Structure 1
Amino acid sequence: MSAPPTKKWFGTGLDSRNNSLNLIRLVLAFAVLLHHSWPLAGLPGEPVFAGDTLGGWAIAGFFGISGYLITSSRWSNSLGTYLVHRVARIMPAFWVCLLAMVIVFAPIGYVAANGTLNGYFVTAHSPLNFLISNAMLDMRAYDIAGTPGNVPYAGAWNGSLWSLSYEFVCYLIIAALGCIAFVKRSRWPLTIAFLLSVLAQANIDTISHFTNDSFEVILMLRLLPFFLGGGVMYLWKDKIGFHAFPGILSFVAAFILSSTIPGWGVQASAIFVTYGIFWLSTIIKQPLFIAKNDISYGVYIYAFAVQQLLAVFGAHEWGIWWFSLAAAAGTVPLALGSWIFIERPIMRRVRRATAKKTPLPVQNPVSDTPETPETSVVVIAEGAR
C-alpha cells in the first residue's frame, strides 16, 4: 500500500493529460526559426537579452522541458527501455531529415547554382560524406556539394541540428545517474549536480583553460544547467506543485539573475525558467490538434533548411517577418509529415514492445505513488526529444 500523497507547497501538480507542453515546445521551435531569420537574411539587429539571442533562450527552454520529461522517463524505466525510447525518439526522424537534405534541398540548390546536377555526387563535400559524417548526431559537415551558395549565410543547409548531440549527451548523463541507487532514492544528488553545473559555468574561463578552449565543452556547460534544472524540477514536483504566485516570481527571479549576474546568471536562472514554463503549461489551453500532434521536433529540424532554400530564390529580401512567415508555412507540412509517418508510429511501436517486457508498475523513489510509462508524466512527453 502506498503512502498518502505528499502535501504540495504550492497549488497543484502537473496533469499528465491536461497541459500545453506541446504548444509551448512548438512556440519555442518557431522562436528558433525567427531567430535564424536575421543571419539567414544577412540582417543585423536581432534582439538580445542577457547576452543571448531569442534562439538561445528558446533552446534553453527546450533543454529545461526535456530535463523534466527525460528524468521522468529514466526514473520510471529500466536503463535498456529508457535508451531504446530515447534513440527511437530522436534518431529516425533525424536520419530522414539528413536524407531530405541530400535528395531534395541540396539538389535544388545545386541546380540553382550550376544549372545542372552534373558533378553533384562526386564533389569534395559529397552527399554521401554529409550522411556519413553526421549520422551519429555530431554535426561535422553542414554544406553539401558546395551548397547552399549565393545566400547571405552560405555553406550550411541545417544549422539547427548542432544542438541534438548535446541533448543526447544530457540523456546519457541522466541514464548514468539513474544507475546509482542513492541518486534515485533522494532528490538531493541531482539538485547538487545542478548547483555544480552552475558553478562550472561561473568558472568557465578556468575550465576552458584546461580544455584548450574547447567550444564543445563551453556549449555543453552552457546548456547542461537547463537540462539538470528540469530534472530537479521533476524530482521536487510532488513537493512544490505549480501555482500562479511562485510561477510569476520564478520569471521575475530569472529576469533578475540573468540581467544582473554576467557570465553565469543565465544558468542560475534555469530552474526558475523551467518552473515558470511548467506553470504556464498548467494554465494555457492548447488546441486539440496540437495536443495530439507534437510537430515541434519536425519544425526544429526542418525550419533552417526551408529558410535556406527560400533564400536561394531570394525570399530573404522580403524582410524578416515575411521571410519568417513563408518559412513557417513551408516547414509545417514537413514537420507534420515527420510526425505522422516517422516519429509517432515508431514511438508507438517501441512503447508497445517495451511495455510487454515491463508490465508491472514501478515505484518512483521520490514520489508517493507508483508510476508506469502510461500513467506518469511520460504521457505528455510523446513528442519530447
Structure 2
Amino acid sequence: MTVGLALAGAPFPYRANSLNLFRLILAAMVLFAHSFYIVGEGEGPKIQGENLGGWAVAGFFVLSGFLITRSRLRTAPGEYLLHRIARIFPGFLVCLIVTSFVFAPIAALIEHGTLAGFMSTPITPLQYVWSNLTLYIDSYTIGTTLESVPYPGVWNGSLWTLFYEFLCYMLVWLLGGIALFRRNGWMAGAVFVLSLFVWIGASLAERWGLDASFLLFAKLAPFFLGGALVFFIVERSGINAIVAVFSLTIAVVLIVAVPRWGGQASAPFLAYGLLWLSSVVPQPRWVARNDVSYGFYIYAWPMQQIAVLLGAAALGLPVYILIAAVMTFVLAWLSWVVVEHRAMEWARPRAGRLRPTPVGP
C-alpha cells in the first residue's frame, strides 16, 4: 500500500502540457531521417535496422494511442468518428490536391520547361488524388515529374502511415463499445499483449496469405495500443517522475537490445515516459495554440523534393535540411490555420472548441 502511494503521481495536465512541441519534434525527426534518402546520401542513422523516422512514427503512435483512447471514452461513438474524420481527412485531402496541382506543375516546369501532357500522362494528377482518397496510398508518382531527383517519382513517402493510424482509430472505436474495456485497464493490457504476439509471430501471416499491408498494421498497432493501455494507468494513478524515468530506461533497453519486437514491447514504457516529459518540459505559447505537427508531417516530403529540384541539396545536407524545414513549416502553418483548425471547429460542439484532439502520422 505504501509502495503504491509512493508510485502514485499527479494527474496528467491535459490542458497544460507540451505534446504539441513533442509531436513537432517527432515530425522534424521524420524530415531529418528522410533527407538522407531524398538527397541520395544513404539511409541515415539507424537503431535495430530502423531509421530515426521510423522511431519517430512509433513515438507518434504511442502518444496518439493515449489521446485517442481518451477521446473515445469521453464521446459518443458517432461524435468520435466525426472528430477523427475531421481531424485527419481535410488536411490530407488538401495535401493531395496541392501536391497534384501546385507542386507537381512546378516540378514539371523545372524539369521539362513545359506542362505539355501534364494532365494526361499517367499517373495523372486527378488519378493521384482519386487513387489515394481513402488514406491507403496506391499511387506515389504524378506523370513524368521527379524523374531527375535522387529519389525519383515519389511525391510523398510519409502519407502511408495515416491509413494504419486510422485503422487504429477504428480498433479503439470498436473496443470502446465494450463495457469491460471502458471500465477496466486489464482488457487494454490484454489487447496490447495480443497485438505484440501477433507482431512477434507475423511470419505466419505470410504463410497464411496475408500481404505486406497486414504486416505494417501488425508492426504499428502495438505502439498505438501501448499508448491506449497507458491512458488507463495514468487515469488511475497519474504521472510519477520516478516511474517515468524507470519507464524511459526500460524503453531504451528494449529498443536497443531486443531485435525486431523490442520497440513494440517498449510502447507502454515509451508512452508513459513521453507523457511525463510533456508534463514537465515547457513549450512556447505559439506552439501550444497551433498544432502544426500534422501539417509538418504531411508536407515535409514534397517540400524536400521541391528543395532538391531548386538546388538546395548542393549546399550540403545541414543547409538543405534547414531550407526544407523552413519551407515545410510555412506549409504546415497554412494547413493548420486554413484547413485543419477550421475543420475541427466545424466538427466540435462549441464547448469543446478550445483544444482539438491532436493527430499523429
1:219 paired with 2:216, answer yes
2:329 to 315, 327, 332: 332
Contact persistence 2:7–2:243 (CA under 8 A): no
Any residues of structure 2 matched to 1:14-25 within 5 Å, and which?
14-25=12-23
Distance (Å, rounded) in 2 between the aligned partners of 1:296 and 1:271: 22
Rounded Cα–Cα distance in structure 1 between residues aligned with 2:43 and 2:134: 35
Tell me the amino acid that sits aligned with residue 68 of structure 2.
I
The answer on 1:258 being equivalent to 2:255 is: yes
Within-5 A mapping of 1:139-218: 139-212=137-210, 214-218=211-215
Measured after TM superposition, the shift of residue 382 of structure 1 is: 3.2
CA contact (8 A) 2:251 2:270 kept: yes
**Of 109, 113, 134, which residue of structure 1 is paired with 2:111?**
113
Compared with structure 1, are the counterparts of its residues 48 and 383 closer, same or farther at alpha carbon in structure 2 (3 Å cutoff)?
same
Q: Report how far residue 323 of structure 1 moved.
A: 0.9
**TM-score normalised according to structure 1 size:** 0.89
Q: CA deviation at 1:319?
A: 2.2
After TM superposition, the structure 1 = structure 2 runs for residues 59-98 of structure 1, keeping only pairs within 5 Å, are 59-98=57-96
- What is the distance in 2 between the residues matched to 1:282 and 1:352? 27
Identity within the alignment, %: 41
* Equivalent residue, structure 2, for 1:102: 100
User: Could you tell me how far 1:50 is from its partner in structure 2?
Assistant: 2.2
Work out whether residues 8 and 239 of structure 1, in 8 Å CA contact, stay in contact via their aligned partners in 2.
no
Shift of 1:259: 2.2
CA contact (8 A) 1:9 1:239 kept: no
Q: Aligned partners of 1:339, 1:327: CA distance in 2, in Å?
A: 18
Cα distance in structure 2, aligned partners of 1:50 and 1:154: 27
> 1:314-329, aligned counterparts within 5 Å?
314-329=311-326
Would you say the 8 A contact 2:7–2:240 is kept in 1? no
Which secondary structure state, in structure 2, belongs to the residue aligned with residue 236 of structure 1?
helix
Counterpart in the other structure of 2:357? 382
Contact 1:64 1:229 in 2 (8 A): yes
Q: 1:305 aligns with which of 287, 302, 312?
A: 302
Structure 1 contact 201–221 (Cα < 8 Å) conserved: yes
Alignment equivalent of 1:346, drawn from 325, 343, 346 = 343
Write the deviation string for residues 71-90 of structure 1: whole angstroms up to 9, x where unpaired: 00101111100000000000
Is 1:236 aligned with 2:233?
yes
* C-alpha contact 2:26 2:60 (8 A) present in aligned 1: yes
Q: Give how far 1:263 is off.
A: 2.3
Query: 1:7: Cα distance to partner?
Result: 6.5
Letter in 2 for 1:42: G
Structure 1 contact 194–228 (Cα < 8 Å) conserved: yes
Q: 1:319 to 1:211 in 2, by over 3 A?
A: farther
For 2:256 and 2:188, the matched residues in 1 are separated by 26
Q: Partner amino acid for 2:358? A: G
Alpha-carbon RMSD: 1.7
Alpha-carbon spacing, 1:7–1:50, altered in 2? closer, same or farther (3 Å): same
Task: Report Cα offsets for 1:2-60 as digits up to 9, x if no partner.
Answer: xxxx9683321211111100000000011000011000010026111122110001000
| Runs of 5+ unmatched residues, structure 1 | 1-5, 356-372
Cα pair distance change 1:235/1:211, threshold 3 Å: farther
Q: Which residue of 2 aligns with 1:359?
A: none
**Matched letter for residue 359 of structure 2:** A
Which residue number corresponds to residue 34 of structure 2?
Answer: 36
Contiguous gaps of at least 5 residues in structure 2: none
- Aligned-pair distance for 1:328? 0.6
One-letter amino acid of the structure 2 residue matched with residue 291 of structure 1: A
Note the C-alpha offset of 1:240.
3.1
Are the structure 2 counterparts of residues 381 and 51 from structure 1 closer, same or farther at C-alpha, using a change threshold of 3 Å? farther
How many residues get paired?
357
Which one of 219, 224, 245 corresponds to residue 248 of structure 1? 245
Shift of 1:184: 1.2
Spell out, residue by residue over 1:176-218, the C-alpha distance to the aligned partner (whole angstroms, 9 max, x if none): 1111222212111111000111111111212232134x21111
Report the alpha carbon displacement of residue 346 of structure 1 after superposing the two structures with TM. Answer: 1.5
Contact 1:16–1:380 (8 Å) recurs in 2: no
The alignment partner of 2:158 has SS state of helix
CA distance in 2, matches of 1:95, 1:180: 32
Distance in 1, Cα, partners of 2:319 & 2:6: 46
